[in-house]
Amino acid sequence: MTWPIGAHVLSNEKTGCTGPLAGLRVLELCQVAAGPFCGMLFADLGADVIKVETPAGDSMREWPPFNNGYSENFASLNRSKRSIALNLKAPEDRDILLALVRDCDILLENNRPGVMNRLGLSYETLSKANPALVLCSISAYGQSGPRSHEGGFDLTIQGV
């Protein structure tokens, strides 16, 4: 299943855009803001970004304001990306993800530390599929430390 991002959102294929990162493929396992923003920058610079969402979709799809039924916040952070829905708890969908990893240069994820391991997608597993893969993990409080298990948004972090 693929999720439409919106007819008004231009993709690299439609615009024929190139950039300094053309030829780079990024697999984005992110939701809400920080991770999708990073993926947006890669796409803006010409990378082929594939956003992986749960079958329910990124929760940001429900954030107002809406324009023609689409969240403007979601559309702005996910422009120029392709999208696929996978249930990463299902072995067959994990296999699809690992097949995508084989052809990607970078994997972005913004889960809390430990989630990727619990899904069977540790760096060791991912790097077996693609030894050259660069893994970028984005989290509110880092990958280790006393608050690493907590989630957070920009405003939360600014208040700390």
**What pLDDT digit, counting tens, does each position of 44-84 carry?**
999 999 999 999 988 888 889 999 998 998 999 999 999 99
Report, as an integer, the average pLDDT of 120-147.
91
- The percentage of the chain sitting over the pLDDT mark of 90, rounded to a whole number, equals 60
For residue 64, give the CATH number of its domain: 3.40.50.10540
Q: Is residue 16 part of a domain?
A: no
Residue 129 lies in a domain: yes
For residues 39 and 108, the answer to whether their CB atoms sit within 8 Å is yes
* Mean per-residue pLDDT, 4-25: 64
20-41 pLDDT, tens digit each:
999 999 999 998 889 999 999 9
Q: Please indicate, yes or no, if residue 15 is contained in any of the structural domains.
A: no
Q: What is the number of structural domains in the chain? A: 1
Average pLDDT score over the chain: 86
Cβ count within 10 A of residue 11: 15
Range of the domain at 134: 22-159
> Is 7 inside any structural domain?
no
Query: Token pair for residue 20?
Result: 């300094």
Residues in contact with 125: Cβ distance below 8 Å, sequence separation at least 6, in sequence order: 98
State which amino acid sits at residue 32: V
Q: Which whole number is the average pLDDT over 82-93?
A: 96
Residue 58 lies in a domain: yes
